[in-house]
Amino acid sequence: MTETEKPYFIGTVKAIFFENPENLYKIFTIKVKKTNTDWDAGDIVVTGSFGEISEEEEYRFEGKIVDHPKYGKQFQATTYKRTMPSGRKELISFFSSDEFPGIGKKKATQIVDKLGDNAIDKILQDPSALDFLKLGEEKTQAMIEQISSNHLAEQALFQLNNYGFGTTLSARIYQKYGAQTLEKITEDPYRLVVDVKGVGFKRADELAQRLGITGDDPRRIKGALIQMVSSVVNETGDTYVDGDLLIKRVSGALRFNADDEMMKKLVEGLRNLVKDGILTVEDGHVYEKGMSDNEWSIAQSLKMITDSFKGTPWSKKDLKRELKQIETDFKVQYDDSQVRAIEQSLLNPVFLLTGGPGTGKTTIINAIVAAYAHLNDMPLDPDDDSYAIALAAPTGRASKHMSESTGLPAMTIHRLLGLTGTEDDEFAEPSLDCKLLIIDEMSMVDTKLFKVLIDAVQPGTQVVLVGDQDQLPSVGPGQVFSDLIHSQVFPTTMLKNIHRQDEKSTIIQLAHDINEGIIVDGIFQNKADRSFIGCTSRDVPEVLSQIIQKSGDRGFDISDVQVLAPMYRGQAGIDNLNFVIQDVVNPMKPKRKEVSVGNVKYRINDKVVYLVNTPEEQVFNGEIGKIIGIILAKENTDHVDKLVIDFDGNEVTLDRKDWVNVTLAYCTSIHKSQGSEFEMVILPLVNEESRMLRRNLLYTAVTRAKRLLIMVGDRSAFERSIKDQSSERQTTLKERIFVTFKIKTNVTEADEDSVEEEPKEYHLTMDMVMNNSINPMIGMDDIIPSDFIEKKEA
C-alpha cells in the first residue's frame, strides 16, 4: 500500500447479518478476493452505511481496519463501489444472472458481442445502446434501471458525503429521492428543508452556496420561509405565524435589508408557496400546509354534528327521573354543577366538561354512560348489537383508567380511529359508527388528531369532551380544548368542588391553589403527604439519590416513584437525573448483563419509556415498561442484541436497531407525564429552567401525584412558576368556529359558499406586511360568542 492509497478490500458479500433501515447501517461478511492491507483472512466483517448491498455480489470497499472491543477486528468502510464485471466471460454471466429476468445466455452473449468489454459504461452513457435487442420499452427500461441503480446510489451517497452530510442524513436523503437524489438537490437544495427531517435552512443554505445559489435567489427565499414557519410553529405550539413576524425573521435569516425591493421579493416568495399549496395565508396569518384546513374542518365537522342532532327520544322529565335513579344506584349525591354536567351532556350534540383533580370528571363519565344507556333502552353490554358508546383518550394510560373506572372498553384515540401514529395519519379518513363518543384527557389532543377524530363522527352522534383546561396544552400545535371552551359556542360545565374525600391529602388543594395563582406559605411546609427540600441545581442529583434511597427503604417500588422535570439538559435535567437514579436503584454489578447505546446503558430491571406508536405491538408513545431480558447477539440466531421489555403485561422484544424508540424513564418530562398518575412524584425545579417555568407546568406536575409529592430545588423557581401565567397559544380555531356557526344562524347562501370553498385567497399585501395592520377578526366585528349561545337557547 502506498502512502496515499487508502486501505481497500475487494470481495463477495456472503451474509448480511445486520441492517438498520433508518440510516442504512449494515454489518456483513465478505469473502476477500484482493486487498492492499496486510490483514490476511479469508472472510472478514465489514461495517458502514450502504445504499444497496446484495449478497453474492462483488464490491470494492475503502475505509480502515478497526478493533472492536467486543466483536474484534472489522473493516469500517467509508466508501464502496460495486466492482463491475470485466472480461467477456464475467460480463456474459452478469447479464444472464437473476438480476435481469428474461435475459438468457444467448441474449447476454449478443450484448457483449455488440458492445464489447465496456458494455456497462456504454449502456449507462447511452441507454439506446440496448435498442438492438428489441426487448420492448418496459423490459429495456427495467434493465437499465437495474444496471444504474447501484451505480447511482454509490454516486449519490459519495457526493452527499462530499457536501458534508453525515451517514444518517445522507441515507435519509437518498431514501427520499432515490436515483434522482443528485438531480433533485442540485436543482433546489432547499427542498431538503421540506422533505428531509433533520435538514434545516442553514444546512441547505450552506449547500446552496456551494452550488452557487445565493442572495435573493427565489429558491433561497422559499427555503427560508418554509423553515421559519415550521420552526416558529413547533417552538410555540401556535397553529400559524403572524405574517409580519415571519417576514421580519426571514429577512433577518437571509440578511436582507428591509427595503421595498427585498420586501417585494419576500412577498412574492410567499405568494408562490401559497400557489404551490406548501403554505396557506389567511388574514395575514401564515400556516403550514394543511393546518388552516384542519381548523376549518374541525369547525365544519362540529357544525355538522350540531346541525344533525335531532334531539332526544326522551323528555327532560325522564332525564330528571333517571338522574335520581342513578344517584340511588351509585349511592352518590351529585352537586349542582355535576347535575348540570350530566344533563347538558345528554341533551346536547356537543358538550365540554372541564375540572381539576378530584372534581368528579370520572364520576360524571360513569353517570353519563349509565343514563345514556338506560334512557335509550340500550344494554350496557359491549357485546350487544345495540351498544353504541365509544370511549377513548389520547394515551394508553388514560384510556386504561377510563376502561377501569367505567368497566367498559376504552381505547386510545389512535386505536379507535385505526391510525398508525405515522405521517400517513394525515390522509386517513376513518369513520366512527357510535352514537355517543366520550373523550377524556382532551387537553392533550392536538389540532391534527382532533381534526381526524371529529371528521370521523357521523351525523346524529353526541360528543362529550372531558379534560382539565388548566393543564399543559397538547405537545403538537394547537390548544383545541381550551379554544372550544373559550369560544363559548358549546355548552360547557366547569367543575370546581373538590370531592376527593381523603382528609389527610393536601396535594389536591395545593394544585387548586397553584391554579388560582395563590402562593400560600404552606407550599414549602412539610405535610403528611408532601414536602419541600430547598437546594441549588448542583445539589439536586445528590438530594434526589437520597430521596430515592429512602423511598425504597420505606417500601416504595421504583415503578411507583416518578421523577418529573421540565428540561432534558443540565445537572437537574432529565438526562442526568436518569443516570443518577439508575446508579442508585439498578447499579452495574460484576457478571450483570449490560448493553449500551450512545452513553445510555441498559440493565435488566431498568425502567424505560416508549417513544413512538407501534400499534402492531400494542405499545404506544409514553408507555412505561421494565426491561426483563437482555439477549446478546451471540446468544441468538439473528445475531442481533435484543431487549425484552414488559409494558404492563405486554412483552415486547426490541432489536438493537429499534432501541432509539426507548429511553430510561426514572425521570421523564412533565409534558410526557400528562394523562398518567403516580403514587409518589418527585419534582425538581431550579432557576436555570426559568424559560420553562409556568403555572400550567407546575400544576400538571403536581396533579400527577396520588399519594406523596416531594418538591426539590429553588424556592424561587416554584414561586415563579405559580406567578407566571402561561401565554395562550396563537390559533384561529375560535374564529373559524365563529364564522362557521354564524353561517348556520344568519348569513346568506352566497357567504356560505365563500367559506366552504377553500379559503386560500392570498390576502397578505405589501401594506399589511409593512404596516402591521393585520387583524384576525376582520369581518367578524359584529359577532360575539354569547350571541350564538343566546340564539341557540332561545
Ligand X SMILES: Nc1ncnc2c1ncn2[C@@H]1O[C@H](COP(=O)(O)OP(=O)(O)OP(=O)(O)O)[C@@H](O)[C@H]1O
**Rounded (5°) CA angle 717-723-724:** 85
Q: Contact, 617 vs 608, CB < 8 A?
A: no
Q: Tell me whether residue 511 or residue 733 sits nearer to ligand X (CB atom).
A: 511
Q: Phi/psi zone of residue 649: left (φ > 0), alpha (ψ -120 to 50 degrees), beta?
A: left
Q: Tell me whether residue 496 or residue 791 sits nearer to ligand X (CB atom).
A: 496
- Shortest Cβ 508–ligand X spacing (Å): 8
Q: Tell me whether residue 342 or residue 346 sits nearer to ligand X (CB atom).
A: 342
Q: DSSP 3-state assignment of 156?
A: helix
328 annotated among ligand-binding-site residues: no
In angstroms, the Cα distances linking 575 to 256, 578, 601, 663 are: 39, 5, 12, 10
Q: DSSP 3-state assignment of 542?
A: helix
Q: In what order do the strands lie in the sheet with 410-412?
A: 410-412, 389-393, 436-439, 462-467, 350-355, 492-495
- Shortest Cβ 79–ligand X spacing (Å): 58
63 annotated among ligand-binding-site residues: no
Q: Which residue has the cell 346541525?
A: 307
734 annotated among ligand-binding-site residues: no
DSSP secondary structure string for all residues of 776-793: TTTT-TT--HHHHHHHHH
Q: DSSP 3-state assignment of 466?
A: strand
Three-state SS sequence of 675-740: CCCEEEEEEEECHHHCCCCCHHHHHHHHCCEEEEEEEEECHHHHHHHHHCCCCCCCCCHHHHHHHH
- Which amino acid, one-letter code, is at 666? Y
- Shortest Cβ 345–ligand X spacing (Å): 14
552 annotated among ligand-binding-site residues: no
Q: Tell me whether residue 74 or residue 493 sits nearer to ligand X (CB atom).
A: 493
167 annotated among ligand-binding-site residues: no
- Shortest Cβ 556–ligand X spacing (Å): 20
Q: Tell me whether residue 220 or residue 512 sits nearer to ligand X (CB atom).
A: 512
- Shortest Cβ 519–ligand X spacing (Å): 23
Q: Tell me whether residue 507 or residue 685 sits nearer to ligand X (CB atom).
A: 507
In angstroms, the Cα distances linking 509 to 501, 532, 709 are: 12, 16, 13
- Shortest Cβ 400–ligand X spacing (Å): 13
Q: Tell me whether residue 175 or residue 405 sits nearer to ligand X (CB atom).
A: 405
Quick one: CA torsion of 541, 543, 548, 554, rounded to 10 degrees? 180
Q: Which of 788, 789, 738 is nearest to 283 (CA)?
A: 738
Within 8 A by CB and 6+ apart from 475, the residues are: 444, 446, 671
- Shortest Cβ 721–ligand X spacing (Å): 20
Q: Tell me whether residue 338 or residue 721 sits nearer to ligand X (CB atom).
A: 338
- Shortest Cβ 307–ligand X spacing (Å): 31
Query: What's phi and psi for 581, nearest 5 deg?
Result: -70, -40
- Shortest Cβ 450–ligand X spacing (Å): 20
R_g of the chain, CA atoms, integer Å: 31
662: exposed, middle or buried (Cβ count in 10 Å: 0-12, 13-18, 19+): buried
- Shortest Cβ 557–ligand X spacing (Å): 22
Q: Where are the alpha helices (DSSP H) in 116-259?
A: 119-125, 137-162, 167-177, 181-187, 191-195, 201-210, 218-236, 243-253
End-to-end CA distance of the chain: 92
Q: Tell me whether residue 498 or residue 567 sits nearer to ligand X (CB atom).
A: 498
Q: Tell me whether residue 334 or residue 490 sits nearer to ligand X (CB atom).
A: 334
Distance CA 704, CA 669 (A): 12
Residues that bind ligand X (CB under 6 A): 332-335, 338, 355, 357-363, 499-500
Residues belonging to the binding site are 358-362
Residues belonging to the binding site for ATP are 358-362
